[in-house]
Amino acid sequence: MSAAARTLRGQVAVAGIGETPYYKHGGSPDPEFKLVLKAILAACRDAGIDPRTVDGFASYSNDRSDPARLAAALGVRQLRSATMQWGGGGGGCCAAVANGAAAIHAGLADCVVVYRGLAQGQFGRFGQSGGEPTVSGDMAYQMPYGVLAPPQKFAMRVQRYLHEHGIERPALRAIAMASYHHAQANPRAVMHGRPLDEARYEAARWIVEPLRLFDCCMENDGAAAVLLVSAERARTLAPKPAYILGAATGAEYRAAASPHAAPRYASANYSGVAADLYRMADLGPQDVGVVQSYENFTGGVVMALAEHGFFAPEEANDFLRTENLLAPDGRLPLNTSGGNLAECYMHGFELVLEAVRQVRGTSTSQARRSDVALVIGGPMVSPASNLLLGSENTL
């Protein structure tokens, strides 16, 4: 089979999306497993598909909701595929969708649910250092020097990137402002009704330079799911399909070299992954109308957008202005549901659902150009992943 024939482009579609209410970390009234079941059932209702006909599951970031247990709870008649994206944390949110789509395209499953669930009151808070008796790997080079939490580790990469390319703080601020602006139109968003202005952003406490409070993602409880079927089947269902145009995952040369010794240290780790994505989709950045980019920290978004070709790093100060990032008519509407900063930090999976809404035309902050929607997973991790979704017009 030729390389051109080995593609997901136009072969699989998102037929349904579902989510629970989103809560502040520790605030869920339900256990994690129940949250995931609720999101899956909501995705099945959205697609008009009997949950008993689901035959595959896919997730990432070591999700604790076991596929076999989910299958039993849902009454699934036969479980045929179960995949977990290895490594990369939130960088795997798009790879999980690609893995589910690949199972369908290969004939290993017919109907795959991709999901992520979090109940931190039940299992403990993510991103908080515990009392580990020993450490190994990358953290062995960091914890002895007080680098305990993700903001500390990633701030060093961001600071280096800002310095190398002369990027100023207003570029970071614009990303936060856009996310909070869009959240005010989204009643699902945790920060709905809590707008952010420039004065409040600048007055917020430092977390670790160059990151202030509103440069950092929230921590939340909840669950989200998407339902994948073949493109042919999706056309027979009621919701407007969002077709997979491209998907990619991977890492640059020695991206995870320890300790903090990657050759391209100040990078989101997306240059090669972006090239693979555009090659599969036969598209370029000029074709993308709206972007959902994982904001663990605003600096990572700057890096990721540049590595996906929307601007050169030296152009970031001019491009990353709040008005350019707002729906409907900004140059590149960004994180139109509020993203990790202001809708919910479902380890980035809520971004996939919002990309589907954009393609369907049902977002609370609809972009004028939404036939091609890009999702960028967690930056500055290995492996990273991304996803392009499109309407029927793009096939």
Tell me the per-residue pLDDT of 205-236, one tens digit each, with 9 for 90 and over.
Answer: 999 999 999 999 999 999 999 999 999 999 99
Tell me the per-residue pLDDT of 118-145, one tens digit each, with 9 for 90 and over.
Answer: 998 787 666 565 666 788 888 888 888 8
Q: Is 374 helix (H, G, I), strand (E, B) or coil?
A: strand
Beta-bridged to residue 185, according to DSSP, are none
Contacting residues for 47 by C-beta, under 8 A, at least 6 apart: 15, 16, 227, 229, 237, 238, 239
Contacting residues for 278 by C-beta, under 8 A, at least 6 apart: 246, 284, 285, 309
Beta-bridged to residue 372, according to DSSP, are 390
CA 52 vs CA 9, 46, 73, 76, 342: distances in Å: 27, 15, 10, 4, 34
pLDDT at position 148, please? Answer: 85
**Tokens (6 digits) for 84:** 């977990």
pLDDT at position 204, please? Answer: 98
Is residue 286's pLDDT more than 80?
Answer: yes
Residues 240-256: what's their mean pLDDT?
96
Query: Which amino acids are annotated catalytic?
Result: 294, 345
**In which residue are the tokens 């961001």 written?**
158
Q: Residue 34: phi, psi to the nearest 5?
A: -65, -40
Distance CA 47, CA 355 (A): 16
The DSSP call for residue 106 is T
End-to-end CA distance of the chain: 21
Tell me the per-residue pLDDT of 235-245, one tens digit each, with 9 for 90 and over.
Answer: 999 999 999 99
Q: What is the DSSP string of 74-96?
A: HT-S---EEEEE-S-GGGGHHHH
Tell me the per-residue pLDDT of 361-376, one tens digit each, with 9 for 90 and over.
Answer: 999 999 999 999 999 9
Tell me the per-residue pLDDT of 73-90, one tens digit each, with 9 for 90 and over.
Answer: 999 999 999 999 999 999
Residues 263-282: what's their mean pLDDT?
97
How many percent of the chain have pLDDT more than 70?
A: 97
Q: What is the DSSP string of 226-287?
A: EEEEEHHHHTTSSSPPEEEEEEEEE--TTTT-TTT--TT-SS-S-HHHHHHHHHHHT--GGG
**Tokens (6 digits) for 20:** 């629970």
Beta-bridged to residue 60, according to DSSP, are 85
Distance CA 209, CA 65 (A): 36
